[in-house]
Structure 1
């Protein structure tokens, strides 16, 4: 019993360390990723543009100089004025902008999570490629041993030239498959370098040997994460609130605007100082603006509901897909057993129980079965990564 507890404890610690290492690798790439920073600055620029719309118009300075007849003299005027909307407009816009600013923080977080998932899926692609490369290299190694054994070793002459050629042809097929996967692998590694800000990441790639130890959680957990951990929910909600506040600002903007100014005049040796007060009646400039703001508010409200329903449907679809792949993996894993088929086939060949043609056929069959199993593992971990997307928010 103590031994079982000890093994369980060691396994738990090992899985925890593996998960921690995987997260550290993710965070390492994210810290160098330029797309995350670019997205953040783009959102900041959009917010600053929004804030600039709530600024006062620029003050105006007018200078007027008129020449008169000699007996009349010249005339000189200067005006300095400042226009502004109805005072309540700025406060209403300020509230809308403040709400939008909070929304942008959640949009930044959402973009961060999306990029983190994208890099995680890239890691999974690389792990899958490495596993397939390892499998093919092991099979090629077996073919090389056979070729060496039956052409140079003690068993030389036991097989015909045709049999040896069959082994060489099978090896060539495996080598072609390996070259194709290695080409894809190099492309994946180059993509990772790009995600890593162009920095070399060979040491990081060497650590990508096993998939992350994600698991399928109960439906309630995912529904809670969609509500609490999904930044897009908060973003959509806050943008809807911001637009409602902007509707109020547009309503207030239909009220008169004002201009206040100082007027200085010099005429015929006399100096005059005074105030200038003006009023702007926005009959034309605000036409349709309230309707447009209300339409945008309604659009955001529908978008908020649509996003929530789509995310829930996607979550359920990913979870069902992951469960199905998990069942297939379990069934396939039991059928493959400990994958000792290569050794058993070798023993049968050496014992004369099967021909080289049978051996090659059986080896190809079990290779395909192992590749199918690796593909199931790959697709299962892809589905898990998509399913557990919002667990990344706490990492």
Structure 2
């Protein structure tokens, strides 16, 4: 009984490990993005930098430190006695300045979050584009391997016929040349896959990413342009960063105005001389004449610049989205046409049958086969381009 239970546990454990290994090996694009978001070194550094900036924004929001002063004068001659003075003073900006400063700091913290979100989105889009390109190459490699097997079988057949005196050495050579072409393309495909795997490894913080998919997931629906443009504008961290910068500059104008108001000073003073003591309250106010001249005008100019930069980005952003959307629409139309054509595999079977029955020559066969392969390759390229264009349009969801 114990042996049976032991074997059951060992078998269950092995099955669990096997499933875990397979699940790890068969990553999806979403799984790759999750890994990159967690492991990317640039994002980790950016998160630390963002936190450091937030701490920096919180500095300088409080009044200056109080100033304590003690003075001792030794009198000459001795009958003159000694003199002592003690003073405690505190200087503050006009009270409204502190609320304005805190408002600026709060807006700057939100801006830092948007800047980090923008960097995160860019890196995840890089990873997504690389993963989609790798799937395309995996799919292409599978097709090339099938082609190689088919042409190799045909080459063996031509070779056998030639040796039997029934074939043509020219046909054999044509098949051999085609084999060499496919092999060279396979090698190039392998090299490109290796480059993308290294790219994904780099984006994943140096950890390998296994992505062996040979089929794309169904493309998510892309809304109509006006809806899409609105969605992107609402959530695009690049626009949000510039919007936040415009708000920051507006508040900095108010801070500059508040700092241009008189500064206040108050404190306590004590004096002792010739056996007599004097103590009381100290108060003062600055006269704002020239120290902060032009600071308000400077911040107003920066505010106008930030607003102009935001408006320019909105126009550029809309044109960018519109261009990408038009490219996506054209790709979709072309892809549908190619899909209808590729859904008729009987063309290839009829071509093989015609060669076998001697209705066409080997030269005609390979010419038609090249045309078919070129068409299928174009279909694969369009499919990959459409996937990547959708990823670009929906980057705001990352």
TM-score after normalising by structure 2: 0.81
Alignment of 1:137-176 (within 5 A): 137-151=145-159, 157-176=165-184
Structure 2 CA distance for aligned equivalents of residues 360 and 87 of structure 1:
86
Could you say which residue in structure 1 is the equivalent of 2:40?
33
Structure 2 CA distance for aligned equivalents of residues 348 and 285 of structure 1:
94
Aligned length: 371
Q: Does structure 2 conserve the Cα–Cα contact (< 8 Å) formed by 1:136 and 1:174?
A: yes
Could you say which residue in structure 2 is the equivalent of 1:198?
206
- Give SS of 1:297's match: helix
Could you say which residue in structure 1 is the equivalent of 2:9?
none
Cα 1:115–1:212 change in 2 (3 A) is: farther
Q: Does structure 1 conserve the Cα–Cα contact (< 8 Å) formed by 2:158 and 2:168?
A: no
Cα 1:332–1:277 change in 2 (3 A) is: same
Structure 2 CA distance for aligned equivalents of residues 266 and 148 of structure 1:
116
Structure 2 CA distance for aligned equivalents of residues 292 and 212 of structure 1:
53
Summarize deviations over 1:42-96 as a string: whole Å, max 9, x none: 3333333222132333344445455554625655555443322111111111122
Alignment of 1:219-238 (within 5 A): 219-238=225-244
Asked if residue 382 in structure 1 is aligned to residue 378 in structure 2, the reply is: no
Alignment of 1:41-52 (within 5 A): 41-52=48-59
Shift of 1:98: 2.2
TM-score after normalising by structure 1: 0.81
Summarize deviations over 1:153-204 as a string: whole Å, max 9, x none: 89855434443333222222222222222211111111111222222222xx
Structure 1 CA distance for aligned equivalents of residues 269 and 319 of structure 2:
66
Task: Choose from 171, 186, 198 the match for 2:194.
Answer: 186
- Give SS of 1:53's match: coil
Q: Does structure 2 conserve the Cα–Cα contact (< 8 Å) formed by 1:257 and 1:280?
A: yes
Q: Does structure 2 conserve the Cα–Cα contact (< 8 Å) formed by 1:127 and 1:211?
A: no
Q: Does structure 1 conserve the Cα–Cα contact (< 8 Å) formed by 2:100 and 2:251?
A: yes
Cα 1:357–1:189 change in 2 (3 A) is: same
Q: Does structure 2 conserve the Cα–Cα contact (< 8 Å) formed by 1:86 and 1:257?
A: yes
Aligned-pair Cα RMSD in Å: 3.0
Summarize deviations over 1:73-132 as a string: whole Å, max 9, x none: 655555443322111111111122223333444444444333333322222211222122
Asked if residue 89 in structure 1 is aligned to residue 121 in structure 2, the reply is: no
Q: Does structure 2 conserve the Cα–Cα contact (< 8 Å) formed by 1:263 and 1:276?
A: yes
> Which structure 1 residue ranges, 5 or more long, are not aligned?
1-19
Asked if residue 322 in structure 1 is aligned to residue 312 in structure 2, the reply is: no
